[in-house]
Every structure is written in structure tokens, then in C-alpha cells.
Structure 1
Amino acid sequence: MTATGASAAPLRRGQSRLRRIESRQALGFISPALAGLTVFTIAPVILSIVMSLYDWPAWGDRTFVGGGNYVDLFTRHPDFWPSLRNSAIFTLLFVPMNLAVSLTLALLLSPRIKGRAVFRVLFFIPVVTPMVANVLVWKMLLQPNGLFNGLSTSMFGIELPSFLSHPQWAMVMVVVMSVWQGMGYNMLIFCAALEQLPEPVLEAARIDGAKGWRMFSRITLPLLSPAIFFTTVMTMITSMQVFAQPQLLTGGGPGNATIPIVMFIYDQAFTFQQMGLAAAAAWILFAIIIGLTALQFSAQKRWVHYEV
């Protein structure tokens, strides 16, 4: 062995020892986060998979049923399909309404508007306001003796229907309240995207005579497509998991007109104590969300335009 090789060997051993020490130190620093992830995320996920394969009452003996819970949900349970339908209706109404209102507000709050920062804060307040407070305000507004009906009767002589007790109107009001409560989040994303639009492209379009709707549809909207894609995916995911709004505003009624799939899962687990059935429904919802998200990612190649 040469002198150079003999001197390099201790150096390599020292570097290897240093890496092991640094790895142990890094593991020590991240161990609290790993412990929390394991206890509160990984373990419950694994347990929910196991529970979905059992007849798992809250109290008493557990019986292995394999895919029986899934079969029961799809073929025999009377409330599963209506709850899935309600979640689909809510998503189909909420996602386009939320994106349309958010994008419109972002366009109106352009840099030319004075005090736009104040308006952005005002529109974002419902997002950070506790959901219970938001729902209580809307519940008072929508009551038969509430503000909306009072104004309509006094000003136009028209008595509005009882929105929250009408099967068709109840879901619409849940959607409207949810759009009002959540539009500020997507509005801020669109505001940030509008401020990042490449000015040379916009200027070139103006020189070519683009303006108004043509400017928006041919130039602005394609440039905003990455932000629209992101907000569409995130809004769809949250809308399929809606729970608090119908639970607090209508209680799932009238009948089962506004019971979404997450409320169905909640009722099976904590009202009827059927943990296995609830876990199976939760995994079905997970599969639906993953499938819809995958479809959106596969379709983005056709309409999302990223700057090069």
C-alpha cells in the first residue's frame, strides 16, 4: 500500500463515522415528528383497513367478514347510495360555483382598484371565521322569519319558501353557504396568479388588438390554467369530504336530502356503532377521490399550459 493510500484509509473511516453520527443526530431530531406520524396517521390508516374487513361493533365481539361490509354498502344498505349521490351533487354544484366566483372576484380586484388589499381581507374573513359562527348566521338568515324572507315580504310582497326544510332548496342553500364561506381562499390564489402573468405576453396581445373577452379567453385564461387546475383539484377533494356545513345547517335533512357520504360515515361509526361499516365506506370514498384526482391529472395535458 502506498503512503497516499495509507493516509486516505483513516480519512475515509473518519468520514464514515461522522456520517453515522450525523444520521443518528438527524434521526433524533425527526423522531418526535415520526412518532406523531406513526401514532396519529399510519397506525389509524392500517387499523381502518383491518376494521373494514370485520363486523366491528363499538362494544362486543368482532367477526371477520372479509369483503362483507363492502358488499352490504353496495347492495343492501339503504342510505349509502343516497349519501354518495348527495356528495356528487354538492361537488358538481360547489366546484364550478366556487371557481367562478373566486376568479371573478380576483379579476375585479385588479391592481388598478384602490383599496384592493382591504377588499381581499374582507372576502377572506369567512375562510378563517369558525364554521359554527358562519353556519349560525346563515341559519338565522334563512329561517322563515329570518332577514331574507323579511326583506322579500316587506319590499316585494313575496314570501320566500322555507329553504332549509325544502328537499330541493336545502342542498342549494348548503352549496351557496359553502361558496360564500370558502371563496376567499381560491380568490387569493387567483390574485397571486394574475399578478404573475408575463407582462410581455400581455403587451404583445394588446398590440395585436386583443381586448375584452377575446383577451381574457385567448390569453389570460390559458395563462391561468395551472392555477385553475390546482384550485379545481383541491376544491374537488374538499367538496367530496364536506361534513360541517350540512351537519350544522340542515342536520342532513329534510329526510336524507343533504346527508353527504362523510356524514353517513360519521353516523355509522358514532351513532350506530358500526365501525367496520364506517371504515369500509371511508375507503370507498378514498378510492373515489383518488380516481377523480387521477382523471384530472391525466386530462391536464390537454388544457393546462405551463410556461417554458
Structure 2
Amino acid sequence: MNETNIVIESVVPKKTVINKARRREALSGYLFIVPNLLAMFVFVVIPILTSLVLSFTNWDLLNPPQFVGLENYTKKMMEDDQFWISLKHTAVFSLITIPVGITLSLFFALLLNQAIKGVNIYRAVVFLPVVISMISISMVWRWVFNTDVGILNYLLNFFGIDPIGWISDEKFALVSVAIVAIWKSIGFNMVILLAGLKNVPPHLYEAAKIDGAGTMTKLFKITIPLLTPSLFFVTIMSIIGSFQVFDVVYMITGGGPGDSTRVLYYWLWQNAFNFFQMGYASALAWVVFILLFIVTLLQMKFFGNKVNYELD
């Protein structure tokens, strides 16, 4: 009996000490994340809630906001021709950049996943546009696209083709902007896909080789199915990025010529800082969010079940 009491008395204090240590550890963890949570609350949560409130008002930054209800979402937006034009341009831009960008990213990922000499240098070169400032990139590409002295038209002239107004002709301006966006995004997508390729078990390729499978068979029967998680993530991020495109349009074409490259985010920016219609601009921002939310949900519904983490 005495021995039992001694055991109980020796165990209980030890548990108490462990619980106190865990509480102190948890408290320390919470204290470390408090500054980050405060920053997120001040610079993310409050602006989001403020923009939601402003979307129901008419505010010109000078006079007090006037509550207008759903007018920004209904009458004003429905009657805004530029909204529909910018929505169409955004959709076209997305249809160009997403499939082409992902295809090229996959190509470079497969190419640079090989054991070739200097592969790390080649990977760095492909990834370099991701870390370069869009301002400096835009200056270079404006020269590349220049009708008179641009290198693209110089090459076309070398083959006897007349110069093209890459960013001065409405027929080519949006495509030119899409080319820059694709070029800048390839490196980021490639890194994600490279990480996915590293997770493909090598023994599957060895087994397929023994069975006599060729390169294309291994690609479509092993590599692509096991790469679907990475492809799914890259596709979602590409959709979000294509709907939020602004900087490349602002720096290279300024929404022109005419309104040929006016996309949703550029039209949003113009309403906010050119026309000082902050309420309508906030409504546009929430419409973009709703569109992205719907597109992402649809993608997860129809393609989420096709993501493979292992072969059947």
C-alpha cells in the first residue's frame, strides 16, 4: 500500500510539470505569431472588409462616402461597356497564357529534369525572369516589340516579312502582353513541376523499360498521371495570376492601343486612381474575387478527382 502511494505521488507531479512545460511552450509559440497576426489583421483583413463596405458606396476620396446599396454591382456595372470589354480581354488573355504557359513550363521541367552537364545553370536561366523586376523587364520588352527598331521586326525583316506593330496594333497588342506574361511565369511553374517530377518513383520507369515502353508511353502513363497534383496547383495559380494581371499591361501598353489591352485589373485601377470612383473600383475587385472563387470551385469539382498520388 505504501509503495502504491509512493508511485502515485511520484507520477502526478511529473505530469503536472509536463503540462506546465507544454503550456509555456504553447504560450511562447502564440507570442511569436502575434506580431504576424496583427500585421495580417491590419494590412489584410481590415483592407478587405473596408473594400467590401466601400463597394456599396459612392466615394471620390474627397467627400464622405454615400451609401448606394447594390447600384455598383447592378445598374452601374451592367451598363458599363468597358467592364464587359475588359472581362472579354481578361478571358482571352487567360485562354492564351494558361495552356501555353503550362505546356512550356512542363517542357522545360521535363528537359531540365535530365542528368545533363550544367543543368543547374540552365534552371537558373529559366527561373531568372521570375525574380527580375517587372519595370526593368517591361523596358526591355518595349524595345523588343518596337515597330521601328525592335529586334523582333529586325528578324522578320531579315526573312523578308513586313514589320508588325506588336504593341501599337490592336490586333497584336494583347498577344504581345501575353507573350511577356508567359515568359515571366515559366520559371515559377517549372520549379513546381520539377519538384513533382522528383517525387515520381524511379522504379516505375525501370519496370516500364523492362516491359518495352517507349518515351511517350512512359510520359503519358507514368509521368503525367503522377504529376497531376503539381499540374493542378500550377493551373489554379495560373488562373488566379491571369485574372489579376496588371503590371505588364500598365508598363508596356497602358491599356492601349485604344482599349485592346484593357483587362479587369487595369480597369479597376483606372476607376480607383484616374476617375476616383473608389466605390465602383471596390465592387470590381469583389467581382474579380467572386469569379476566381467560382472558377476555382469548378476546377476542384471537375478535375480534383482526377488528381493521382499513385498509379492504379
TM normalised by structure 2 equals 0.90
Partner of 1:49: 52
Contact 2:101–2:186 (Cα < 8 Å) also in 1: yes
SS of the counterpart of 2:255? coil
**Counterpart for residue 294 of structure 1:** 297
Where does 1:257-296 land on structure 2 (aligned, <5 Å)?
Answer: 257-296=260-299
Q: Superposition pairs for residues 155-194 of structure 1, below 5 Å?
A: 155-194=158-197
Q: Distance in 2 between matches of 1:218 and 1:8?
A: 57
Q: Tell me the CA shift for residue 111 of structure 1.
A: 2.3
User: Deviations along 1:22-59, whole A, 9 cap, x unmatched?
Assistant: 66554433321122111101111111111011112211
Q: In structure 1, how many angstroms separate the alpha carbons of the residues matched to 2:66 and 2:110?
A: 57
C-alpha spacing 1:26/1:181, structure 2 compared with 1 (3 Å): closer
- Structural mapping, 1:193-204, within 5 Å: 193-204=196-207
Q: For residues 9 and 188 of structure 1, do their structure 2 counterparts lie closer, same or farther at Cα, with a shift above 3 Å needed? A: closer
> Which shifted more, 145-154 or 251-260?
145-154
Structure 1: runs of 5+ lacking an equivalent: none
Q: Say whether the 8 Å CA contact 2:143–2:151 is kept in structure 1.
A: no
Partner of 1:111: 114
Q: Distance in 2 between matches of 1:8 and 1:106?
A: 57
- Structure 1 counterpart of 2:69: 66
CA offsets 1:162-190 (integer angstroms, 9 cap, x no match)? 11111120010001111111111111222
Partner of 2:80: 77
* Equivalent residues of 2:156, 2:162 under 8 A apart: yes
2:97–2:178 Cα contact (<8 Å) kept: yes
Q: Is the Cα contact below 8 Å between 1:53 and 1:276 reproduced in 2?
A: yes
Conserved? CA contact 1:73–1:281, under 8 Å: no
Query: What amino acid sits opposite 2:74 in the alignment?
Result: V
Q: Distance in 1 between matches of 2:302 and 2:73?
A: 30
Paired residues in the alignment total: 307
On the 8 A contact 1:49/1:279 being kept in 2, the answer is yes
Instruction: Name the CA distance, whole Å, in 2 between partners of 1:24 and 1:111.
Output: 47
Compute the displacement of 1:221 (Å).
1.1
Displacement, 1:235?
1.1
Q: Give 1:80 shift.
A: 0.8
Counterpart code for 2:250: Q
Structure 1 residues 122, 275: CA separation in 2 closer, same or farther (over 3 Å shift)? same
- Amino acid paired to 2:70: G
Moved more, 84-93 or 12-21: 12-21
Consecutive unaligned residues of structure 2, counting only runs of 5 or more, are none
Percent identity (aligned): 35
Which residue matches 1:148? 151
| Matched residue type, 1:244 | D
- State how 1:92-107 maps to structure 2 within 5 Å: 92-107=95-110
Pick from 244, 247, 257: which aligns with 1:244? 247
Equivalent residue for 1:218, pick from 218, 221, 232 = 221
Structure-2 separation of matches of 1:10 and 1:214: 64
- How far does the alpha carbon of each residue in 1:148-167 deviate from its partner, in whole angstroms, 9 at most, with x for none? 35523552232221111111
Q: 1:215 to 1:149 in 2, by over 3 A?
A: closer
Quote the Cα distance in structure 2 between the aligned partners of 1:103 and 1:227: 10
Q: 1:287 to 1:8 in 2, by over 3 A?
A: same
CA distance in 1, matches of 2:61, 2:245: 25
Per-residue deviation at 1:93? 0.7
